[in-house]
Structure 1
Amino acid sequence: MSIPTSTYVLESSIVNAPLSATWHKIKLGDFASWWSALKSSSAVKGADAEADLYSWEFNDGTKLQVKQEEHSSINHSITYSVVSAEPALTYSSVVSKIELSPITSGPLEGSTYVSWSGNFSSDADAGVIEDARFKRKEALADLAKAASV
């Protein structure tokens, strides 16, 4: 019996670095340079010119092909979806979005607010959502370390 759960996840963090330093790390092909869970991340060569496809290989051997759906230098956001996975995913789809905003006043002025959301298909179970939440928290901590240097 499955446990009913929300299929939306959102994690956020403050990165103690300016928006410009943080934003330049948010490129799907460069995620392995700061996300410790990734063994490699790179553009898929020979991909259709209309599709910005990237290959992510995690340290546990999981391989994802992700498609950049939107990239906005004006809004400082990137949206991507998973188009294939090895081993196969246990759910139909997920669309994720990373958004950055500068903190412009107060004690954290000069820092960056980062949110990372995921909208999963209705067949994603509670384990999938918790795993996504954990991975985002871990990745945001890694991003904070990398951008603060």
Structure 2
Amino acid sequence: MASDIPTTTSVAESAVIDAPLSDVWHLIKLPEFASFWTALSEGEWVKGASPETDIVKWTFKDGTVQQIKQEEHSSLEHFITYSVISSDPALSYTSVVSRIRCLPVTSGVHEGATFVQWSSNFSSDADAGVIQDAKFKRREALADLKKTVEKH
């Protein structure tokens, strides 16, 4: 059984994007993900959510619809943290919290570029297949972000 295979419940993928931090950071807003992530067809704020809660609906090209709650956003530290609060179809695990952090590369061969890390922590009921899928989805999304930013 797949559930009997021990696995980590976290994933972290990263990329160096040949563009200044400001060019990358302005896309790291939940409703803007569809402007670079080719798996998404649309991202939009959910109207009627509580004033203290920022919720975005992501519609994926495969038909999956998820509501994403922004947990943290720091324009000073250049990171965003979010969680999936609902999904249709339903997820096979209980929860996931993800963070995207952007850092300027200040020296060396990549000076002037941006280091981006996309990490996620899943609930303990996420199996190895979920973690592997998350790894590849984050790699694809980072490659999409790189293509979008570097072509400008």
Q: TM-score, normalization: structure 2?
A: 0.97
- Deviation string 1:54-104 (CA, Å, 9 cap, x unpaired) is 000111111110000000011100000000000010000000000000000
Q: Aligned to 1:74, what secondary structure does the other structure show? A: coil
1-structure distance, mates of 2:128, 2:42: 27
After TM superposition, give the deviation of residue 34 of structure 1 in Å: 0.6
- Paired residue type of 1:113: F
After TM superposition, give the deviation of residue 147 of structure 1 in Å: 1.3
2-structure distance, mates of 1:46, 1:135: 30
Q: Which residue of 2 aligns with 1:22?
A: 24
Q: 1:60 aligns with which of 53, 57, 62?
A: 62
2-structure distance, mates of 1:64, 1:46: 16
1-structure distance, mates of 2:51, 2:34: 23
- Paired residue type of 1:83: I
1-structure distance, mates of 2:143, 2:11: 17
- Deviation string 1:25-53 (CA, Å, 9 cap, x unpaired) is 00001100110000111111111111100
RMSD in angstroms over aligned alpha carbons?
0.6
Unaligned runs of 5+ in 2: none
Map 1:44-123 to 2 at 5 A: 44-123=46-125
- Deviation string 1:108-132 (CA, Å, 9 cap, x unpaired) is 1100000000000000001100110
State the number of aligned residues.
149
Unaligned runs of 5+ in 1: none
Q: 2:128 matched to 1:126?
A: yes
